[in-house]
Amino acid sequence: MEYLSKVIDETLRNFNPLFSIPRVAQEDININDYFIPKGWKVQVWTRAVHMDPETYVNPKDFLPSRWDDDQKLKAGSFLPFGAGSRFCPGAEFAKLQISIFLHYFLLNYKLEQVNPGGPIVYLPYPRPADYCLANIIKLQPSLHLSSPSC
């Protein structure tokens, strides 16, 4: 389950449920030589944050190992559930739900991609052009060897 948590975080980094985070500038601010006046509406594009090569080495690669315990992220560099006072209160519950679902799904089913190796579309988020059509195959329950023999 520890590795599954890393896979979930890496999936959230690559395919964020939040396209952007709307905010209003509370004061005049200058960011990277761009002036933003107080009251202007701004959008934080989470994909740009999650694909920053200064934060994530090889950001286009799917690397669950990047979430090993020694990884220290700076504040605001992982935003799948927002940030600050508007952080989603159900974030941990959502991750728990997907963990339980994936645990049972992966033990009992197998996926076969219909069009493996198809093209990838990257905007607004990366995904197979066919949305990864797949056949779901129920696995047969394994026989228990602990039953008494005659």
Contact (Cβ atoms closer than 8 angstroms) between residue 138 and residue 116 = no
What is the distance, to the nearest Å, from the Cα of residue 24 to the centroid of all Cα atoms in its chain?
26
Q: Which single residue is written with the structure tokens 């952080």?
A: 87
CA atoms within 13 A on the CB side of 22: 3
150 a known binding residue?
no
- Taking a C-beta distance cutoff of 8 angstroms, is the pair 28, 38 a contact? yes
Provide the annotated binding site for heme: 88
Task: Give the residue ranges of the annotated binding site.
Answer: 88
